[in-house]
Structure formats: structure tokens, C-alpha cells
Structure 1
Amino acid sequence: MIQVGDKIPAISVSAVAGGETSAVSADQLLAGKKVVMFALPGAFTPTCSASHLPGYVVKADEFFDKGVDLIACLSVNDAFVMKAWADAQNAEKITMVADGGADLTKAFGLEMDSGSFGGTRSRRYAMIIEDSVVTALHLEEPKSFEVSSAEAMLELL
């Protein structure tokens, strides 16, 4: 499992930002920036849509005021779903990271098997990344939502 001090691997993902989608290497997306990245089991799912993403949408400017350059939301969904979810959630200040094949999630060692819910998904977590190196990692226990919230991450900055 990825740990504090580890470098983000060079794995291709799709980034959805400003209404545009681009293929990019995760390490390049995060290079030279202070990033708060949070991950969740799936777009349009109950806790993810009611609490997790909305917390970051509402508090985005507070993160930027504390020196964060990029807020990224990662999910094992395709770029089309992530774009639709961003539009539905008014998440224009959040970069949506579509990890459709779960390659980055698996490289992190943070995948889970949700069975018939959707197969391989990401565990819920949040991390602070500085110039592609993990400086903080808050991993949720299964079916929990506490340590990866926007409020919890703001307290670290």
C-alpha cells in the first residue's frame, strides 16, 4: 500500500478539468503542485454524492487560500461518468481523475472488491501530495466517512 514518502507512479489516467478531458500520467498531473486528492468508491453513489465530493466543492476556496494548487477527486469510473458527475455537482474547481481500469488505484494498493456493486473500486481516502510525493494519507475504515472529509484535510494544512 502507498505510504507517506512514496512518489505517485507514472500511470495513465483521464483528468477532467474545466469541462475538458485529457489523458495524463498521474505523476505529471501532480508534479510541481501541492495537491489534496481524495478517492471514493464511485460517482453518483450515496455518501460520495451527498457528502464527500460536496464538502470539497464547498470548501475549495479554503484549500486554495491555504496554498493548495489542485484538488483532485479519484474514482474507478470512466471519464464520461466523472465529467457528468462534476457537472451535476457543480465541481468546476475540482479536477476529476477517472481511473477507469483501476490501474492507479491498484498501484496504490487501495482497491477493494465490491462484488456485484461494481467490482473493483477504490477505498475511501484522502492524501496530501507535494510535487508528486505523498506527505499525508488518511485511509477510511470500510463503510466509514470521517478522516477523508474536506474538514479533516483542511485541519492538516
Structure 2
Amino acid sequence: MMIDRGDAIPSVGIKLVTASGTTDTTSTEALAGKRVVLFTVPGAFTPTCHVNHLPGFVANADKLRAAGVERIVCASVNDHHVMKAWAEASDALGQVDFIADGNGTFAKALGLDKDLSAPGLGLRFGRAAIIIENGVVRDLFVEDGPGVNASGAPAILMALEAANA
């Protein structure tokens, strides 16, 4: 079952990649705080994720913070070495933190897992974004087709501005 508005973020073990390094923690600890934006992608370095999804959050990090976001986090079913390399290659460290969900445990716990075995990608996150307030889902944006629309930084900014108005 997919997580929904009003649900608490499930607590599972993850690796968190930040500008200070990689740490073992839980999803609830990594996403604790007043307001967090979590966006999930099928894979680091994959075309849409690398060219369209992550760059929008990096470019809009200051605007998101101005709208009250304390932390921006990207999660993917990749190991922490790949996530760190992607963060560095994207100049995202310091703007966006990364959850490495190597076994897809967090993706499954959120109900955002997607079986992409047919094209040879295995279990992945579906593309989505979640606005989290104090560990609880305030808004959930799940893409219903290819590309980045509902879960991109511009859509999240619009939702935050509407909520703050």
C-alpha cells in the first residue's frame, strides 16, 4: 500500500549521503525536522533523473529553503557509492542530501517501489515527491507517466507557495 497524506514516514535502515560523508541511519532520523522535501527517482545517472529531476531541485534549492524547507533529500535504489558519485557529479552536495536504498527496503516501505525488471533495471523507486512536516506526509506527488511533471521542483514550489499563502 502506498503512503498517503497524514501517514508517518516508516522507519527503515538507510545510508544517508551528505556533504559531510555517508552515515548509517534510519529514514525517520534522516527525514526528521520541520519541513522536508523528499523526491524519489528510479536511478542515479539515469537519463531523466540526471538531466531533468535532480537538476531542478539543485537549481531551486534556495527558493525551496525560502519557502520553509529545511532539507531536500533525493532517494534512489542505488548503493551509497553510486549515490555519492552522482551527488558529486551533479554538484548537488550541500544543496541536496541523498538516501541510498540499495535493497529497496525504503521504497517498499513507502509503497513507491516499481518493478522495472522487464527493461533489466530490477526493483526501483517510482518517480515521486513528498512534502514532509515533522515526520508526517503533508503532500504526495506521484508521476502517472514518463517524465518529470508533478514531482519536479517547480510543482513542489507551487504547492509550498499555495500552502504558505
Q: TM-score range by the shorter chain?
A: over 0.9
Q: Hey, what does 1:70 align to over in structure 2?
A: 71
2:39/2:75 contact within 8 Å kept: yes
Give structure 1 stretches of 5+ with no counterpart: none
Q: For residues 2-38 of structure 1, what are the alpha-carbon distances to aligned partners after superposition, in whole Å with 9 as ceiling and x for unaligned?
A: 0000001110111101140001111111223310110
Say if 2:83 is the partner of 1:82.
Answer: yes
- Could you tell me the percent identity over the aligned residues? 45
Q: Hey, what does 1:145 align to over in structure 2?
A: 148
CA distance in 1, matches of 2:125, 2:6: 21
CA distance in 2, matches of 1:90, 1:144: 22
Q: Hey, what does 1:108 align to over in structure 2?
A: 110
Q: Structure 1 residue 77: deviation in Å?
A: 0.3
Amino acid at match of 2:105: D
Alpha-carbon RMSD: 1.0
Alignment TM-score, normalising by the size of structure 1: 0.97
Alignment TM-score, normalising by the size of structure 2: 0.92
- The match for 1:123 among 121, 126, 129 is 126
Q: Give structure 1 regions of 4+ aligned residues with deviation exceeding 6 angstroms.
A: none
Give structure 2 stretches of 5+ with no counterpart: 161-165
Q: For residues 94-140 of structure 1, what are the alpha-carbon distances to aligned partners after superposition, in whole Å with 9 as ceiling and x for unaligned?
A: 00111111001001111111114320000000010011100000000
- Count of equivalent residues: 157
